[in-house]
Amino acid sequence: MLRLAIISSVLIAVLPANAEAAKWTALAFSEKAGAYGKAWAFATEDEARRRALDECRKHADDCIVVVVGRGADRGEETCIALVSMIFEQITSDGTTRITRSAITATSKNRDEASRSAQQLCNDARSRAVMLQPGPKSECRAIALSCSGRP
């Protein structure tokens, strides 16, 4: 009887009654097409990655997962943001070439993740324009997702 009580108290300490499973979120992106896919509130990282890729691949064939986030077991969220840095250049033969790059940020707060990704993109764009002046460029917010909600 005493042994059972000790085991029960250990189980209660390890698995509190209000414990929540961690939730995963992921973003996939196509640099060629600018398409994206997102997933949120998945039980495993693999499920979140697969869903984000599936969503992105509805629009493009070169999608890759660019960022994954995991919410804490106590209901805290992880938010991830994706911003695309876009360069438009006229090539020597007169055609327009568009290059896209994924810039990501992670935070416990939606607004902070979004601001951080935008700032990282703006900083990278400034450095790139200093190295190669002339091309039209911009940073475009693409997607935001949190572990427990879109």
Residue 90 amino acid letter? I
Q: Look at residue 17 in the predicted model and tell me its pLDDT.
A: 37
Q: What mean pLDDT do residues 122-133 have?
A: 76
- Please determine, for residue 9, whether its predicted confidence score (pLDDT) is greater than 60: no
pLDDT band at 76 (very low <50, low <70, confident <90, very high): confident
Q: What region does 26 belong to: left with phi over 0, alpha with psi -120 to 50, or beta?
A: beta
Using alpha carbons, select from 121, 120, 29 the residue that is nearest to residue 67. 29
- Bridge partners, 70 (sequence order): 24
Q: What mean pLDDT do residues 24-48 have?
A: 95
User: Of 15-19, 22-26, 32-36, 54-58, which gets the smallest average pLDDT?
Assistant: 15-19
pTM of the model: 0.76
The DSSP call for residue 41 is E
102, 52 Cβ separation under 8 angstroms: no
Q: Which residue has the higher pLDDT, 78 or 97?
A: 78
Q: Look at residue 11 in the predicted model and tell me its pLDDT.
A: 32
